[in-house]
Chain A
Amino acid sequence: MNHRITANVASNLYWLGRHLERIEVLLIETLQAYDQIIDVYPNAGKKVFTKLGVELGYKNASEFMSEAVFGDHNANIQVLMAHARENAIISRAHLDFEAFGEIIQLHHLCEHASKSAESTSYLFIDDALSLIDEIWGGLLRREQHKTGDYFIQLGKSIEKVDFHLRLGGAITQTQEWLAEIDSITAVLAPNTTFNTIELSEPYSVIEAVNDKINHIVQGEQ
């Protein structure tokens, strides 16, 4: 395996993995909350987004959809997508050709959706999720992984843990992802010994997994 990769590119690949995963999970959560708001539980959207530190105001399901996806807050999909696009442009020499194109396409889709309609359509979410599926396929399908692929996977797995715990998921359910993170760090930093993560308190788990990337990537990013 070619281990040559700069700290800057490694960091951008890692954040590409995190941003894409975050966008995917946010869209799925939004779609699920939207469904509940219609006729089951009107506050479903507020409940989810409060856990993410975002206070959403909406009167109905359609308003929730627009606010959740393109509202003025940290979970705005277009802003996250702009970050992912930037990560991809900086690291494009290490990305699958088609996957790179689909990332740019997803950015166009988000930009178009945020400008073109008064209310955000669930179809946008469906289209975006389909594209994300294709992107993951393109980014991680190589039979023989390159170093860059591991950084993307690391970002994706760390975001999974982070998001799961922020939404109040059980710590024990993170074990599978933590094992995956361990196997990736063993490849990327074979000579580094990391402390065992205590599965006692969500914050310490998030801190510990975030800390790994700081040990793996050294130098200016």
Chain B
Amino acid sequence: MSDGTHALEKKFWEIFQKQDKHKITEFQSFMDKFAVNFNLYKDGHFIERSLPFDAIPRIIPNQEFAKIEKGLQQRIHTLNLFLEDLYTDAKIVKDGVIPEVFVHQAKGFLKEFVGFSPSQKIRTHINGIDLVKDTETDEWVILEDNLRVPSGASYPLSIRDTYRKIYPEFFEQMKIAPIKYYPSYLSNAMDYVSCGGINVVLSPGRFNSAYYEHSYLAKKMGAELVRASELTVENKKLYFKNYDGKLIKVGAVYRRLDDDFLDPKFFNPESLIGVPGIIEAYLAGNVAIMNAIGNGVADDKGIYYFVPKMIEYYLGEKPIMHNAPTYLPYFEKDKKYVFDNLDKLVVKDVAEAGGYGVMFGHTMSKIQLEDLKTLINANPRRFIAQELIEFYDEKCYIEDELQPRKADLRAYVVMGEEIKVWPSGLTRYAMDEGNYLVNSSQGGGFKDTWVEEA
């Protein structure tokens, strides 16, 4: 919670003082009882564990969220236009806004899909945008776009119901926006792009880290949860295999696996979790896949650099929300700045995610910094550098006391006929004080996010 305490925050603390803190253990009991898990593989072993949860919510005043909402709608609208353009006319490249080589070297750019336009020309159906609130400017800053398979929405959804039961006083006395509509955002988006047939959530299966989420969202959306072997392609159409042998046409797939694994006939032939032939059905316009194939190019951290320019290019507008100040060593001028200030910057590998490939200059020795310069020189396109954003700590209730932890916010934006910004999100906090890595895969926990109702 930021220090610029808002009236709603004051109300929270006022109510919090009067609450029985022992009841906080009920959150863990709930997650244990209902196996609300985010699983891990460690040393080759599958470990079922719940995601650490902190009971102190992040609270966002309505006016602040209104700006986030507008900013993210603008950004997703733009990124969708960018992807559609890139895979069809590529005007943005022809007009020199983004260097061609920059696009073609992006790991997620799939040239095989050039010329294909998906149902309703929508590619960015479900998006997770990572934000932090800068202590210097007091503004929210965008750190990362996740336009492939962003996960995490089920955790605040699950915990909110429990929160209301354990501590109803907060919800009786504070105006907090309800969040239960998220599954309907998803199903509406699926229905909008559907090519006729049922909706399914395609999961790699029981041993995926986010299987709980797959199962939870499928149930709440009224879609069928399936593994690849439960789908089949005939005559370029995708079918759900019912228990009795009947085939039921699938109109839209919310896939929870990466492009590389989606179709062993098209991508990685060793994929056991993909559906052979699904790409053929997709390219024939017989099934919608969300998110669209090839979105990885927009997740490339090098492309992120160009999003403000894209907004101006496609919409003729100034960006409502800003990126963290970012430098591309690919450009000589930026490289000089990066090398001169490497000990103060954060360097990121453009193709990594989940907190991997992130290097904090201030924690590195001189030798390590020199090694990093050598790496950057060898392949400048592979890295970006950003100013270290001092983002607000959130108070966490740890070991019976309030302790500060760095926390970001993953905001969820769903695009169907309209662009909906969910009035909540996944607030992720770092396990240790002073640590900037908040990712779940790095051991981080989560908080509920309360947006003041308009």
Contacts and interface: CB of A to CB of B under 8 A. Distances in A.
A104 interface: yes
A220 B219 contact: no
Contacts of A216: 243-244
A199 interface: no
Nearest to B201: A93
Of the listed residues A6, A7, A100, the one surrounded by the most CB atoms of chain B closer than 10 A to its CB is A6
Contacts of B243: 5-7, 9-10, 147, 188, 216-219
Interface stretch (B1-9, B28-36, B167-175): B28-36
A108 interface: yes
Contacts of B215: 89, 92-93
A21 B313 CA distance: 65
Contacts of B32: 104, 108
Nearest to A90: B206
A147 B244 CA distance: 12
B245 interface: yes
B225 A218 contact: no
Interface in A134-182: 147
A179 to B, nearest CB: 22
Given A6-B224, A218-B244, A220-B229, A89 B35 contact: yes
A50 interface: no
A15 to B, nearest CB: 14
Contacts of B17: none
Contacts of A188: 243-244
Given A217-B243, A219-B243, A93 B35 contact: no
B226 interface: yes
Contacts of B229: 8, 220
B242 interface: yes
B248 interface: yes
A93 B219 contact: yes
Contact of B225 (A10, A93, A104): A93
Interface string B236-252: 00001111110010000
B198 interface: yes
Of the listed residues B211, B243, B244, B245, the one surrounded by the most CB atoms of chain A closer than 10 A to its CB is B243
A8 B33 contact: no
A59 interface: no
A101 interface: yes
A40 B84 CA distance: 80
B230 interface: yes
Interface string A108-142: 10000000000000000000000000000000000
B278 interface: no
A86 B211 CA distance: 13
Contacts of B33: 101, 104-105
Contacts of A219: 241, 243, 245
Interface in B217-265: 218-219, 224-227, 229-230, 240-245, 248
A101 to B, nearest CB: 4
Of the listed residues B206, B225, B248, the one surrounded by the most CB atoms of chain A closer than 10 A to its CB is B225
Contact of A100 (B34, B211, B225): B34
Contacts of B35: 89, 92, 100, 104
A6 B242 contact: yes
Contacts of B224: 4-6
Contacts of B34: 97, 100-101, 104
A189 to B, nearest CB: 6
B218 A6 contact: no
A117 to B, nearest CB: 21
Interface in A72-111: 86, 89-90, 92-94, 97, 100-101, 104-105, 108
A90 B207 CA distance: 10
Interface of B: 32-35, 198, 206, 211, 215-216, 218-219, 224-227, 229-230, 240-245, 248
Q: Which 9 A-B pairs have the closest CB atoms?
A: A218-B245, A10-B243, A93-B219, A6-B230, A101-B33, A7-B243, A101-B34, A93-B215, A93-B225
